[in-house]
Amino acid sequence: MNQDNRLQEKITRHLQEKMNLSAEDINVRVVKGKIQLSGCVDLLAEKERAEELVREVAGAEPLDNSLTVVTENVPADKDVEAAVRERLQRHGIDLGHIGVKVSNGVVVLVGKTASWAEEEAARQAASQVYGVKEVISQVEAGALADWDDATITNSIEDVFAHAETLANHDIVTQTRAGVVTLLGWVDRPEDRTTAEKLAGQVPGVKKVRNHLRVREGARNGDIALTNQARSLLGASGLAMVRVYVVEGIAFLAGRVASIDQKKKAEALVTGIEGIKGINNSIIVSLH
């Protein structure tokens, strides 16, 4: 069995385990690492759930989600809109902050939320309504919370540190203008989803870009370079700097007391044979 077939079998099994009967009409095909989903589902939420489950197994591998949402006996737009509003209220979404419009089965959400997770909750709730073909969000996520990037990053890292549902992990969080990027490794596929959801719940977060990888899929060379960099930094009095390597690129994070320490950490890691580049997000804490 080649690599494509193994991945295809693994994805199919994961879909069947998590979606049960809803996965019966979902077909999975993997060709040269590219994943394609085809077939039919009853709800837009099922189409999106299938994609989420594939990501848990395959990470950032190319994915073509061509699943079709069944549109037989679709209710009128006004009935769909009423059902979406009811669903949002049932999920605790404040309709004073989020509005709903429906045209030809396409739902448009407008308004503001305190976090990306609130926007996602509204979008997912709308996608669970029968007759919804697509959900377009024009919601300004994070607009109701005035948090700066450093506060957001610190809050996310604190959440990760105390999350019992997130097993042994090695995650670096970067925030730019409220957009959070998660980089590093986790032990299990479901930890990728857990980390994304936890980060999205922090006020001020506008979006979460999830680039986490499962350790079993990490390259041995990257792991060796990561361990080498950590040993070197630790021996140089820079154990407070977090580092990991993905495809030869070293990502540095954490806090140091001076600009010189930040530069020293970058210079040390740059000098390691096999390092192709540096992404230095170390924060200098000036006292």
3-state percent breakdown (helix, strand, coil) of the chain, nearest 5: 40, 30, 30
Q: pTM, whole model, 2 decimals?
A: 0.64
Give tens-digit pLDDT for 151-193: 999 999 899 988 888 866 788 898 999 999 998 888 777 888 8
Among 7-21, 57-71, 130-144, 253-267, whose mean pLDDT is lowest?
A: 57-71
Give tens-digit pLDDT for 229-285: 989 998 999 988 888 887 788 888 888 889 999 999 999 999 999 999 998 888 887
pLDDT confidence bin for 59, thresholds 50/70/90: low
Average pLDDT over residues 32-48: 90
Residue count of the chain: 287
pLDDT score recorded for residue 79:
94
DSSP string, 61-111: S-EEE-PEEP-TTPPPHHHHHHHHHHHHHHTT--TTTEEEEEETTEEEEEE
Q: Does domain 220-284 have CATH number 3.30.1340.30?
A: yes
Contact 62, 34 (CB under 8 A): yes
Report the alpha-carbon distance of residue 57 to residue 52 in Å, rounded. Answer: 9
Contact 14, 52 (CB under 8 A): no
Q: Does domain 77-140 have CATH number 3.40.50.150?
A: no
Residue 83 region, left (φ>0) first, then alpha (ψ -120 to 50), else beta? Answer: alpha
Two tokens at 177?
A: 């203008």
CA proximity to 180, closest of 213, 138, 203, 208: 208
Q: Do 3-69 and 220-284 share a fold? A: no
3-state DSSP assignment of residue 56: helix
Report the alpha-carbon distance of residue 157 to residue 201 in Å, rounded. Answer: 12
The dotted CATH code for 3-69 is 3.30.70.1770
Please identify, in words, the CATH class of the domain defined by 149-217: alpha beta
pLDDT score recorded for residue 218:
57
Report the alpha-carbon distance of residue 123 to residue 118 in Å, rounded. Answer: 9
Radius of gyration of the chain (CA): 22
Strands (E), the chain: 26-31, 34-41, 63-65, 68-69, 98-103, 106-112, 134-140, 169-176, 179-186, 207-214, 241-246, 249-256, 277-280, 283-284
Beta bridge partners of 174: 181
pLDDT score recorded for residue 199:
95
| Torsion of the alpha carbons at 87, 194, 113 and 137, rounded to the nearest 10 | -70
Beta bridge partners of 80: none
Residue environment code for 109-146, b if the CB has 16+ CB neighbours within 10 A, otherwise e: bebbbbbbbbbbbbbbbbbbbbbbbebebebebbbbbe
Residues 6+ apart with CB under 8 A from 236: 264, 268
- Ranges of each domain in the chain: 3-69, 77-140, 149-217, 220-284
Contact 125, 88 (CB under 8 A): yes
